[in-house]
Chains A and B, each alone.
Chain A
Amino acid sequence: MTAAAQLASTLGWLALVAYALSAVLYTTSLFRTAAWIGRSATAFAVLGAVCNFGTLYARSLALHTVPYRDLLGSMKLFGFFLAVLNIALEFRHRDRSLGPFLMPAALVFLLLAVVQTTPVHKDAPELKGPIFALHVTLNMLAYAAFAVACALSLLYVVVGRSLKKHAFTGPASRLPSLSYLERANRTSLSLGILSLTVGVLLGLFWASRMWRGEHPLWALDPKIWFALATLAFYVFVLVRAHRGAAPVSTARLSIAGFVLVLLSYTAVNLLVSKLHDFTS
């Protein structure tokens, strides 16, 4: 193992520990109001994100290409984006209620990536270059934004139910207001749609330039059609929300949309797609 690969591994484990502590502390902060718990959760999330970035950077040095061209690398990137979006929303709105949802998700993705030791095919010159890097980065950012939208929507449903049941105490009473959750959900959906649109277009451009007719069936790859269907679904949800649909229905559709994302990321990639199976 090279020094860079060793560094990537060490930083990966450090990020994992920080994410785990952060997830536990964020969840505890839902039930306990002591200020140090929330502050420590944030501190560990920031430390974890820094280590996560470090592991991605060290991995790119080891591979001499983008560090997320395979499934494990992309999972590290996904975990990184989840942590970063959580921190950004927390600082923007001075609210920690997304942490108990996003940090455990970031932890799971990073854990799967860190514990796996599948070697990466180093000789893959086609999986290089800024367009490919942007294609993967933007798509992973879109997935993370849809994950945030899903978390916000789950919170919306939880807060809405507690208000309907006239539940005045407990963790739900400390969650943010419905209007904030609804607005933040639309912002996350917009970010996800924009990232996915540009990411897919860059992917199509990169593929058409890469194969120049040598691989005429690339455009028929099920992953592409699934990604376009996911994009169309989210556009429909956002347009519907802007046209005045009940926020709770937007929340439910956002949760359903993330199921599509997870399917696209796992089952479609690994079982159906030939060009997005992370081994090509």
Chain B
Amino acid sequence: MNLLFVGWDHRAAPLDLRERLAFTPEKARAALDGLFQEHILSEGAIVSTCNRAEIYGMSDREDGLDALAGFFSRFHRVDDALLRRTALSGHGDATVRHLFRVAAGLDSMVLGEAQILGQIREAHRLATAAGTVRTVTNRLFMSALECGKRVRAETALGQKPTSVAGLALLLAGRIFESLRDRKVLLIGAGETAELTARLLADDGVSEILVANRSHENGEALAAAVRGRAVRWEDRARAAAAVDLVLSATNATEPVLTAGALRTALHGAPRRGPLLVLDLAVPRDVEPEVGELSDVYRYDLDSLEEMAAVNSRARAGEVPHAEAIVEESVRKFQEWWGGLLQGDVVRGLREKLESIRRAELEKHSSRLAALDPSARAAVERLTETLVAHILHDPTVGLKEGDGSERLERAAAVRALFHLDETQK
């Protein structure tokens, strides 16, 4: 019985391969069913995100890892050699450590990102619903979630955003007490504008204005985010009336100039600062806009600089996070060691007892010739012999740390052929 994992992540597998290996909930269910039917796994769960597709489980087979890789090659109809070349795999402690590092965000493309915790929780939920999670994988996933939460609570790994949306919200937090009741102007109606608008709407902004060269597209986005479209020519005036401007057009010339905004600001008295985020390449907002009084302008370059600073700060937290992962791995090993030790002692006792009974049975005709008190004495003698033989291994299996107990348990299993006996 072995705890193992096979997976393909953003480091080893290219995006087009990861796309082919991705599991929808239905596919994950079908794959788990297939793995059980082919007796490759006795328990398991699949973690599938845009950056990784991984399966964790318990296998009775010596060739469990090979069998898993082969299964995925058939399941996804992907070249077997390519899959094996790009796969990450491991068993025992390596499996535990890998999942815990994934949950901690240490294995993510964006170090410390928190989304992975929700994805692991979803994988556990899906496998539980499919009935493929049992004692070990249940404990493994619950421990991974606990480890991920601890890392986020006790380190600053996930506290420094590096995504554009996260940085935009961080900057907004340094300028405004809250985005609630703030007004926002979106210049452009493309995907970036729409995604950010939805994020801002979730954060409770009071009004979203949309200015787009094509007024119809602007109206469509405004309707989608429950905002209001303004005419393209009025964008500077609208910018002067809001708290946050977000520009993301495909224009090749600046669409918001310092001159136009200065004039608009003079005509529109305001109480607070204005944050201008220029997410376009080439830039939509003239750099001189940042020189206007109480106007704070950031473009993609400055956001990237900010992301780099935050990445460095996050990297500084890695040793702390790794220490939490190792502590969680140790706890899991102790639990699993205890589990296996109990299993081994029971298996050993059952094996010796069956030998004792078989020998008594073999000599039953001779024993029948004895008087009842002598037969009882022989019975007690064999029982005592078994108890004495079991004593030292039982004590020895309880000594040492989790890893040592696991090793001893594995040795006893192999020496007494317990796996064959239990089958």
CA distance A160 to B297 in the complex (A): 12
> Are A169 and B294 in touch, CB under 8 angstroms?
no
Min CB–CB distance B258 → chain A (angstroms) = 14
> Are B309 and A178 in touch, CB under 8 angstroms?
no
Interface size class of B (residues with CB under 8 A): 20 to 34
B119 at the binding interface (Cβ < 8 Å): no
B77 at the binding interface (Cβ < 8 Å): no
**Contact residues of B between 285 and 302, Cβ < 8 Å to A:** 290, 293-294, 296, 298, 302
> Are B271 and A244 in touch, CB under 8 angstroms?
yes
> Are A246 and B293 in touch, CB under 8 angstroms?
yes
For residue B292, which residue of chain A has the nearest CB? A246
Query: With A159-B174, A179-B175 given, is the CB distance from A169 to B293 under 8 Å?
Result: no
> Are B173 and A164 in touch, CB under 8 angstroms?
no
Residues of A within 8 A of B175 (CB): 163, 177-179
Contact of A241 among B171, B176, B271, B310 (CB under 8 A): B271
> Are B305 and A166 in touch, CB under 8 angstroms?
yes
Query: With A243-B269, A247-B271 given, is the CB distance from A177 to B173 under 8 Å?
Result: yes
CA distance A248 to B272 in the complex (A): 9
Residues of B within 8 A of A248 (CB): 293-294
Residues of A within 8 A of B298 (CB): 166
**Contact residues of A between 229 and 259, Cβ < 8 Å to B:** 241-249
> Are B272 and A178 in touch, CB under 8 angstroms?
yes
A180 at the binding interface (Cβ < 8 Å): yes
The number of residue pairs between A and B whose CB atoms lie closer than 8 Å in the complex comes to 60
Query: With A243-B269, A244-B270 given, is the CB distance from A179 to B176 under 8 Å?
Result: yes
> Are A247 and B296 in touch, CB under 8 angstroms?
no
Residues of A within 8 A of B309 (CB): 168-169
Query: With A163-B175, A166-B305 given, is the CB distance from A178 to B271 under 8 Å?
Result: no
> Are B174 and A178 in touch, CB under 8 angstroms?
yes
> Are B174 and A244 in touch, CB under 8 angstroms?
no
Query: With A166-B298, A173-B174, A179-B177 given, is the CB distance from A247 to B306 under 8 Å?
Result: no
For residue A250, which residue of chain B has the nearest CB? B271
> Are B294 and A246 in touch, CB under 8 angstroms?
yes
> Are A164 and B273 in touch, CB under 8 angstroms?
no
Contact of B293 among A241, A244, A249 (CB under 8 A): A249
For residue B312, which residue of chain A has the nearest CB? A169
> Are A166 and B306 in touch, CB under 8 angstroms?
yes
Query: With A169-B309, A246-B293, A249-B293 given, is the CB distance from A163 to B271 under 8 Å?
Result: no
Min CB–CB distance B176 → chain A (angstroms) = 5
Contact of B174 among A177, A183, A243, A247 (CB under 8 A): A177
CA distance A166 to B298 in the complex (A): 8
CA distance A249 to B271 in the complex (A): 11
CA distance A6 to B175 in the complex (A): 50
CA distance A242 to B273 in the complex (A): 14
Residues of A within 8 A of B173 (CB): 177
Min CB–CB distance B177 → chain A (angstroms) = 5
B173, B176, B271 pick with most chain A CB within 10 angstroms: B271
For residue B268, which residue of chain A has the nearest CB? A244
> Are A245 and B269 in touch, CB under 8 angstroms?
yes
Residues of B within 8 A of A168 (CB): 305-306, 309-310
For residue A166, which residue of chain B has the nearest CB? B302
Min CB–CB distance B189 → chain A (angstroms) = 28
For residue B306, which residue of chain A has the nearest CB? A168
> Are B273 and A244 in touch, CB under 8 angstroms?
no
Residues of A within 8 A of B294 (CB): 160, 246-248
CA distance A246 to B290 in the complex (A): 14
Residues of B within 8 A of A246 (CB): 270, 293-294
> Are A164 and B293 in touch, CB under 8 angstroms?
no
Residues of B within 8 A of A182 (CB): 271-273
CA distance A141 to B379 in the complex (A): 98
**Contact residues of B between 303 and 356, Cβ < 8 Å to A:** 305-306, 309-310, 313
For residue A186, which residue of chain B has the nearest CB? B271
CA distance A248 to B295 in the complex (A): 10
Contact flags B172-208 to A (C-beta < 8 A → 1, else 0): 0111110000000000000000000000000000000
Contact of B272 among A159, A173, A247, A249 (CB under 8 A): A247
> Are A179 and B270 in touch, CB under 8 angstroms?
no
Residues of A within 8 A of B269 (CB): 243-245
CA distance A166 to B308 in the complex (A): 13
For residue B302, which residue of chain A has the nearest CB? A166
Min CB–CB distance B264 → chain A (angstroms) = 13
Residues of B within 8 A of A166 (CB): 298, 302, 305-306
CA distance A177 to B172 in the complex (A): 9
CA distance A246 to B269 in the complex (A): 8
Residues of B within 8 A of A177 (CB): 173-177
Contact flags B250-274 to A (C-beta < 8 A → 1, else 0): 0000000000000000001111110
CA distance A269 to B171 in the complex (A): 46
Contact flags A130-161 to B (C-beta < 8 A → 1, else 0): 00000000000000000000000000000110
CA distance A160 to B291 in the complex (A): 12
CA distance A152 to B186 in the complex (A): 32
> Are B176 and A163 in touch, CB under 8 angstroms?
no
CA distance A179 to B293 in the complex (A): 14
Min CB–CB distance A83 → chain B (angstroms) = 25
Residues of B within 8 A of A169 (CB): 309, 313
For residue B182, which residue of chain A has the nearest CB? A179
- 8 additional A-B pairs beyond A166-B298, A166-B306, A169-B313, beta carbons within 8 Å, are A178-B175, A179-B272, A180-B177, A242-B271, A247-B271, A247-B272, A247-B273, A248-B293
Interface residues of A (CB under 8 A from B): 159-160, 163-164, 166, 168-169, 173, 176-180, 182-183, 241-249
Cβ-closest 4 pairs across A and B: A244-B269, A246-B293, A246-B294, A179-B176
